[in-house]
Chains A and B, each alone.
Chain A
Amino acid sequence: MFKNYFKIAWRNLLKNKGYSIINIGGLALGMAVTLIIGLWMQDELTHNDNFKNKDRFAQIFQSQTFNNRTGTGPAIPLPLEPALRDGYGDSFKYLVMSSWTNDSYIKYGEINLSRPGNYMQRKAPQLLGLNVLKGDEDGLREMNSIMLSKSTADAFFGNVDPIGKTVRISNEHDMMVTAVYEDLPYNSSFSETDFIMPWDHYYNTQEWMQNSKDNWQNNSFQMFVEIAENTSMESITNAIIDVKKNADEDVVQYNPRIFLFPMEDWYLRSNFENGVQTGGRIKYVWLFGIIGAFVLLLACINFMNLSTARSEKRAKEVGIRKSIGSQKGQLIYQFLSESFLVVLFAYLMALIIVLLCLNGFNELARKEIEFPWGSGGFWLISVGFILFTALLAGSYPALYLSSFRPVDVLKGTFKTGKYAGLPRKILVVLQFTVSVAFIIGTVIVMQQINHAKNRPIGYDREGLIQIPTFSQDFTGKSDLMREQFIKSGAVVEMATSSSPTTRIWSNRSGFTWEGKPEGFQEDLAWTEVSSEYAKTIGLKIVQGRDFSRDMATDSLGVLINQTAVKYFGFENPIGMLLKDSDVEDPNPPLKIIGVVEDMIAQSPYEPVKQGMYVYDRHNNFSYYNLRLNPNQSVNQNLAIIERVFKENFPAIPFEYDFVDEEYAAKFAAEQRIGTLSGIFTALAILISCLGLFGLTSFVAEQRTKEIGVRKVLGASVFNVWNMLSKDFLKLVVISCFIAVPIAYYVMNGWLQEYPYRVILKWWIFALAMLGAMGVTVLTVSFQAIRAAKQNPVKSLRTE
């Protein structure tokens, strides 16, 4: 029986090639989009799945409240470790302190590279479940040991056994390689950890850390834990939430809350707003999931519409089969198996499309998704996917076609009723509603990105580079280097800074000043800079003056930004003194000497944070900022800078970033979303138009006789074109009026998340509507004009 169904289905496909191509091609495109989105979602949802203890893995987080604004993050103070270990040790299987993941210079023989890695406590390999390929699983036991990832070890040692070899870190410390571990997968939160060194080494070599041993206010560290069996994250959080508040009365005013942030949420639900977890990337997982579902629906609608539109052709077959003895149920099966066959072909094509596009998609989406050939689950889901799509696309046509009465069909009096086309029209409206909404959404996302990109950033990022200086080798050499760089002619100005211009790495509180309101809890961005910082990066002084090398007192000077002026509430900020609120602090107060324009160092969508630029008295810098000579080519400049750098720091690899590129990276996430949704929108429109194209050709065919009569009676090509196009255009106009309010509502909601956002203008909607109508007219016209041009005699004779 099924053989017979498939046979007739196959012959039908071959007989109506154009129809089959539209049907299978459209479905294949739709399924390919859904498949790619599915793979992407799978990749997102399985982030960190490499950790077998994922459900018991957590990071210690902290919320603190300054001036009624609650900030939440992973930074914690040193004394929290003994407090948790001694007070709540039973709750944890592992408790591991860690530094941030920072780049370090690693040197072995002639090879000198910069790699990211962490200092961690001894149980890190167990907590992270590292697969130690060579050496000691307990590789952090000795103070001067280092564990390397496989790829890092290969970069230095190639085929030589690295175990027992000594590498030099930051040209300061010699560390012995004790273990090589398998690289963590790219979609893991620790994928960047190329090496691990012992926490104790970090502690013993950093005086500031030893000084922070009992300081509850220096939140500069991270802690990762695996909770013990038979406990829960909630119960531990409940137990430890006030541990910091109870330990230090000075911090009570900030209401610090310590809690476990489960690994489950790290990647997808990492946003906190005013102390409340508010989702995160999961939003995009949903968004793309919805897009995928809609694109598939659009393709299925094509199938339904084209199948039912062809009903008159199939009606005779239905009638004959019924008169011969077919039950309605058998006909339903027959049509469903036809749709199954079409969907199966479409799926095979979709697989080919996915295979062809996966690399490009990975590049766009910054993924390393591989096609899951070997995954049984994938193929099982595929079977389900095919059946689901076949049912979704085929059930309506099957029910519709199988319900014809044989007596009507065979008598030749069969005419599809007045309202038979109505469901088809509704489906076309649905298709174009989705398409128009997609167009509007994409245009608004693009606009918002451009809006933020064009926002004045407060300094000149072109022709500016930054060189990381993460080694003691750089200490005390800044003035000398500035002199040499300028003398070389490649650089017109240089300044150091404690954080890159595109980031804020440090925040400070604990100041007093004249007229400070009672209970005001300040929180300011803190950057330590050398005298020529503003001049180098092109930051404008709007009040007062810049640092000057001629004024010795400027070492206690500070520049604040315009937002800070408002934040402090200063009417005349110049000359104001900022004292440490710790009365025993021996340092003299900082004096405000100038006000600079607000510059964007954090999110380009957020208001600029109140900030201060303090003269760097203690060599706390992490970057050289260099303004390149605009009269020479960038390559010339870089070659000279590299030479000068190598002469002075032969043991340090020369590395640099273009500040404009670093800044552009802030848009990467939104840009990716924009590009992807642009592509998916284009595909959605293409699929909808394919369907429309197919429908028009059927309508034109159906009305051949009518068109012939009209032409005989004097209708022009234009009249006929107008008649055929108008019907479809009407549907698209209806779609527009449904899509616009929906798109407005959704996109307006999306934009609310960005304090710096584009204002929605009416012409965006008008443009999207006009675009959809234009595409419709083009699509329909092709068939309509062809039908209109036919010789009427021919069409009339066929009756």
Chain B
Amino acid sequence: MITIKDLRKSFRTEEVETLALNNVNLHVENGEFVAIMGPSGCGKSTLLNIIGMLDNPTEGSYNFAGHEVAGLKESQRTQLRKGNLGFVFQSFNLIDELTVYENVELPLIYLKMGKAERKEKVMQVLERMKIAHREKHFPQQLSGGQQQRVAISRAVVTNPKLILADEPTGNLDSKNGIEVMNLLTELNQEGTTIVMVTHSDRDSHYAHRVVNLFDGQIATESQNRAIGATV
């Protein structure tokens, strides 16, 4: 699904050029669950943003499901992203002015799906995430765990091939964190590819494979023995 070759990403400010990613090579198979770990500032989030097509690499190649992404214009990236990718953020990033239902519905609107179909899909995913009873509430009326479930609902409502999760449990207590990880695992078992950035050793154990980044380079890669293990 994802093939990254010799990827480089640098940020330039007025005075200094910072190398965020250097010579990264990564391959992710269809249906894989990969965790990216590493200390703060090692380039995890940058890599995730590039995989998520929110950002362009400075050099190198990124092939997503047969499409070369590096060098695409923003509008082309948006087009490719739509329906293929779902995002889950540490800080949930729900739109405060929209209700639970409307937040989850939003990606479908951008896919120009009809109203009845949208309703069916949204309710389906909300039921599954056990948050349907809160559909009329606004994000700020929910607990952190509930908000993250809404965010995951929104990420999966389009049936994306790939879910990108940026420290999905970072703002949650352990009980809610475990619940979220179980949800992701479930999705993965149904065939969705997942790439997750995390600080948490516990969370990384849910992944098939852990990639360790250090100073913008892949330091080690390790295979988890028990695939989909629960801790």
Mark A residues whose CB is within 8 Å of B: 1, 4, 7-8, 11-12, 15, 316-317, 319-328, 330, 405-407, 410-412
Contacts and interface: CB of A to CB of B under 8 A. Distances in A.
6 contacts: A4-B106, A11-B97, A317-B97, A321-B95, A328-B75, A407-B55
* A interface SS class: helix
Given A8-B98, A11-B97, A15-B97, A324 B110 contact: yes
B95 A407 contact: no
A323 B106 CA distance: 11
B97 A324 contact: no
Given A316-B93, A325-B81, 5 more contacts: A4-B102, A7-B98, A7-B102, A328-B74, A412-B91
B106 A324 contact: yes
A322 B78 contact: yes
Interface stretch (B82-90, B171-179, B206-214, B216-224): B82-90
A320 B103 CA distance: 10
A408 to B, nearest CB: 9
A716 B154 CA distance: 48
Contact of B97 (A8, A326, A330, A412): A8
A422 B89 CA distance: 33
A406 B110 contact: no
B109 A1 contact: yes
Contacts of B49: 407, 411
Contacts of B110: 321, 324-327, 330
B81 to A, nearest CB: 6
A465 to B, nearest CB: 71
A323 B54 contact: yes
B154 A324 contact: yes
Q: Which of A1, A12, A15, A406 has the most CB of B within 10 A?
A: A406
A605 B133 CA distance: 79
B111 interface: yes
A44 B154 CA distance: 59
A355 B74 CA distance: 49
B57 interface: no
A785 B87 CA distance: 43
Interface of B: 45, 49, 52, 54-55, 74-75, 78, 81-83, 87, 89, 91, 93-98, 102, 106-107, 109-111, 154
Contacts of B74: 328
B93 A4 contact: no
A411 B49 CA distance: 9
A550 to B, nearest CB: 96
A325 B108 CA distance: 9
- Report, nearest first, the 9 A-B pairs whose CB atoms are least far apart: A325-B82, A325-B110, A407-B54, A11-B97, A407-B55, A324-B107, A407-B49, A320-B93, A8-B97
Nearest to B111: A325
A406 B102 CA distance: 20
A328 B96 CA distance: 20
Contacts of B54: 322-323, 405-407, 410
Contact of A323 (B75, B87, B97, B111): B87
Nearest to A326: B110
Contacts of B102: 4, 7
B110 to A, nearest CB: 4
A7 B101 CA distance: 13
Nearest to A330: B110
A15 B45 CA distance: 33
Contacts of B87: 323-324
Nearest to A5: B109
A12 B97 contact: yes
A320 B97 CA distance: 13
B198 to A, nearest CB: 16
A328 B78 CA distance: 9
A324 B88 CA distance: 11
A421 B89 CA distance: 30
A328 B74 CA distance: 9
Nearest to A327: B78
Contact of B83 (A12, A325, A330): A325
A7 B107 CA distance: 16
B89 A410 contact: yes
Given A8-B98, A410-B54, A321 B106 contact: yes
A327 B107 CA distance: 12
A1 B110 CA distance: 8
A410 B154 CA distance: 16
A316 B93 CA distance: 7
Contacts of A330: 110
Contacts of B78: 322, 325-328
Q: Which of B94, B97, B98, B106 has the most CB of A within 10 A?
A: B97
Contacts of A324: 87, 106-107, 110, 154
Nearest to B155: A324
Q: Which of B45, B55, B78, B154 has the most CB of A within 10 A?
A: B78
A407 B45 CA distance: 10
A317 B97 CA distance: 9
B114 to A, nearest CB: 12
A152 B111 CA distance: 72
B81 A411 contact: no
Nearest to B151: A320
Contacts of A406: 54
A635 B98 CA distance: 73
A410 B45 CA distance: 11
Contacts of A411: 45, 49
Nearest to B81: A325
A334 to B, nearest CB: 11
A327 B75 contact: yes
Nearest to B50: A407
